[in-house]
Amino acid sequence: MFADEASVVVGEDENVFVTLTHKPFFVGGDSISNYELTVVEDYKTHFPDFDLLLKVLCAARFANDRRQAFIWLHVVSNWGKGLLQAIFEEIGIVVELSVKEIEAALEGKPLGREASDFLRAWILWIDEFKAAKSEIKQLNRKISGSPKNQLNFEAPVYLKMFTSAENVDSLAGDKGVEDQFVSRFSYLNPKPSDNDLRVLFMQNKGKYKHALAKYVARELNLFVSGMKALGREESASCCDKILTQFNKEYNIGIRFGKLNDSVKEVADEIKEILIKHARAPLELTTIGQLPDKLPRHLRELLKAYQHPKPCMRQTTVNLLLRI
């Protein structure tokens, strides 16, 4: 973002480092017509956190620590996830991947994306994800790709946008959210609204989207100018604080609770069952009645409790009684 000129540097390990200069976003000029202003206000009524999302997006681009730049946008069907994605795509800052593609990339498997797909991309978009695995945390700052018959590459990632209409139990289950996700994910859940019932949008969908893309381009350009005036270090510090504050106010744990907060409750349930069956091996059907998400150490204790030797079962009971 602060480079004065593009460069290609070959490192001692024969890796090639490519740096591009930032180009201001341009979508039909800087001036905003009355129609475009009306569209922006209409859309903000539909999505009140729109400007906040733009601010977080920009902060993710400049921040040193992008660990808190994960957002779950959880909206009802027909709310308009596609429109929001299309707005950002029009200014060229989105690369879309599925969860399976991300997992493949993290495992070093071939990826159906080229390095050029990630150029100038500020948003990694994961639409309609069904599950969240622990490997996602590796997306903090970068992603590696191994496209077929091409050189491997490594690209930076900034804002990670996960969208869905349904709940995702592996991310936010009945017992809360795991710590590794609580420390990363923020949660946006706009009020239910049918995009197709908005008159201005239905009059001319393409013109409506273009007006919003023009507004986004203008806002991003203004933010970039302000951060570049601050300089690399001060702008990074400022944007780190923006992400931290956003995650504090919109943390996923606020909406769904934290899994660790329910550990004591889960442990008490297990103790009751173990005490009840202290003289005999625990039935698998009984274990099946326990919550799906148990901390690893509790699962290990349960496994030990099924040991055929009575001394091992009694040791497990003693350990649980200390929780």
Residue 52 has pLDDT above 90, yes or no: yes
Give the pLDDT band of residue 264 (cuts 50, 70, 90).
low
pLDDT score at 276: 62
pLDDT score at 111: 80
Q: Tell me the pLDDT tens digit for each residue of 126-139.
A: 999 998 888 888 88
pLDDT score at 301: 56
Give the pLDDT band of residue 178 (cuts 50, 70, 90).
confident
| Chain centre distance of CA 235 | 22
pLDDT above 90: percentage of residues in the chain: 51
Please name which of 179, 152, 216, 184 lies closest in space to residue 67, comparing C-alpha atoms. Answer: 184
Residue 258 has pLDDT above 70, yes or no: yes
Give the pLDDT band of residue 300 (cuts 50, 70, 90).
low
Give the pLDDT band of residue 85 (cuts 50, 70, 90).
very high
| Chain centre distance of CA 67 | 10
Residue 109 has pLDDT above 90, yes or no: no
Both tokens of 314, joined, read 């009694």
Task: Tell me how far apart the alpha carbons of residues 250 and 140 are, in angstroms, rounded to a whole number.
Answer: 18
Residue 281 has pLDDT above 70, yes or no: no
Task: Tell me how far apart the alpha carbons of residues 147 and 149 are, in angstroms, rounded to a whole number.
Answer: 6
| Residue 306 neighbours by CB under 8 Å, 6+ apart | 281, 282, 313
pLDDT score at 293: 47
CA distance to 95, 102, 125, per residue, from 135 (Å): 19, 9, 16
The predicted model gives 266-295 an average pLDDT of 56
Choice between 314 and 64, residue whose per-residue pLDDT is larger: 64
The predicted model gives 151-159 an average pLDDT of 91
Residue 262 has pLDDT above 70, yes or no: no
Range with the largest mean pLDDT of 12-26, 105-119, 154-168: 154-168
- Domains located in the chain, CATH noted: 7-256 (3.40.50), 260-321 (no CATH)
Please name which of 66, 39, 56 lies closest in space to residue 188, comparing C-alpha atoms. Answer: 56
Tokens 């009020």, residue located: 191
The predicted model gives 123-150 an average pLDDT of 87
Q: Tell me the pLDDT tens digit for each residue of 187-230.
A: 999 999 888 889 999 999 999 999 999 999 999 999 999 999 99
Give the pLDDT band of residue 278 (cuts 50, 70, 90).
low
pLDDT score at 196: 86
Share the mean pLDDT of the chain: 85
| Apex 271 CA angle, 266 and 275, nearest 5 | 155
Task: Tell me how far apart the alpha carbons of residues 228 and 295 are, in angstroms, rounded to a whole number.
Answer: 45
